[in-house]
């Protein structure tokens, strides 16, 4: 989705040291969604991983379980990325974690 790509750059998700920002974008009115990971993540997991996240979320969305779809997608991404970008006690959060609506 082009709008998701524009927002990814607009809110500086591509502005982290390890290039590991992620955007979960849901266009409710358009019935579309996207999960976008920065270059550092994509180099580690590849397109098949992103397709599997999309598929897991799409199943829940088709069941009208939108909250669970997001939870499942976020959980899957978190577990996978923990392998490549483990938590470090000295790490500084470079991006906000808030949910944006609008």
Position 95 confidence tier, pLDDT thresholds 50, 70, 90? confident
Does 36 reside within a domain? Answer: yes
Is the pLDDT reported for residue 102 higher than 80? Answer: no
- Higher-confidence residue of 101 and 68: namely 68
pLDDT in tens, 63-87: 999 999 999 999 999 999 999 999 8
Does 52 reside within a domain? Answer: yes
> Domain range holding 10?
2-84
Q: Among residues of the chain, what percentage have pLDDT more than 70?
A: 100
Q: Is the pTM of this model over 0.85?
A: yes
93: tokens are 């959060």
Mean pLDDT of 40-61: 96
pLDDT at 40: 95
Does 77 reside within a domain? Answer: yes
Residue 33 is given by DSSP the state: E
Does 27 reside within a domain? Answer: yes
Does 10 reside within a domain? Answer: yes
How far is residue 57's CA from residue 33's CA, in Å, rounded to a whole number? 9
pLDDT at 22: 94
């Amino acid at each position: 989705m082009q709008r998701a790509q524009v927002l990814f750059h607009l809110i500086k998700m591509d502005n982290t040291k390890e290039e590991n920002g992620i955007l979960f974008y849901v266009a409710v009115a358009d019935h579309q969604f996207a999960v976008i990971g920065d270059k550092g993540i994509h180099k580690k997991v590849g397109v098949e991983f992103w397709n599997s996240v999309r598929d897991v979320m799409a199943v829940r969305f088709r069941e009208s379980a939108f909250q669970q779809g997001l939870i499942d997608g976020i959980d899957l991404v978190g577990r996978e990325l923990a392998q490549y970008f483990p938590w470090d006690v000295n790490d500084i959060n470079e991006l906000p974690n808030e949910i944006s609506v609008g």
